[in-house]
Amino acid sequence: MKIRYHSFFTEKVAKDFFKFHLGVRSNAKYIYLAFALLMVATGAFLAFGKDKLVVGIVIMVLAPVVLAIRPIQINHTIKKTLLKQSFIGLRYNVIFTEEKIVYQTSKSSKDYSWDDVLLVTETLKYVYYYVSPNAAIVIEKELMDYGERKILREFVLKKFEKEAKFKKYKRV
């Protein structure tokens, strides 16, 4: 198997990756949800159990605000991160073989063995090959030939499914 993929980074692809990585894959959303639920429970306890109606209602009203903060934080982080990046518009090539993944730009080339891949995640539009906890090789599915994409997907499933290193996200 030798599959070649050619693309370039656009701001949209970068935003989509960061939204997925920070919003969907991150466990921080559960911390925010738990904190909001704790606020609702505390507010209800104060309002109805301790006769502190106004304080309890204020705390319960603030719970959705806590949930709204997370997407705002993610968007702010993405904007801040993209301002610092020089990879927007950069062309890259990826070569997939049975032994490794070769990631090439006009400035550098990096080989990753399949053992270096921490996780492979598939969404409706992308496949992310995580080569570090916060970085991935991004493949836009529609830019890859369907037959090659199918061969690569079967190879990845065979390679990673037993190790639980492959995850498909249906709604993203």
Q: How confident is the model at residue 172 (pLDDT cuts 50, 70, 90)?
A: low
Mean pLDDT, all residues of the chain: 88
- pLDDT tens for 4-60 read 999 888 888 888 988 999 888 888 889 999 999 999 999 999 988 888 888 889 999
Mean pLDDT of 89-94: 86
In terms of DSSP bridges, do strands 166-168 and 119-122 run parallel, antiparallel, or are they unpaired?
Answer: parallel
CB atoms within 10 A of CB 1: 11
The C-alpha torsion from 126 through 131 and 135 to 136, rounded to 10°, is -10
Does the predicted model carry a pTM greater than 0.75? yes
Which residue segments constitute the domains of the chain, with CATH numbers given?
2-10+86-168 (2.30.29.30), 17-84 (no CATH)
Distance CA 38, CA 125 (A): 36
- Taking phi first (over 0 means left), then psi (-120 to 50 degrees means alpha), and beta for anything else, what does residue 27 get? alpha
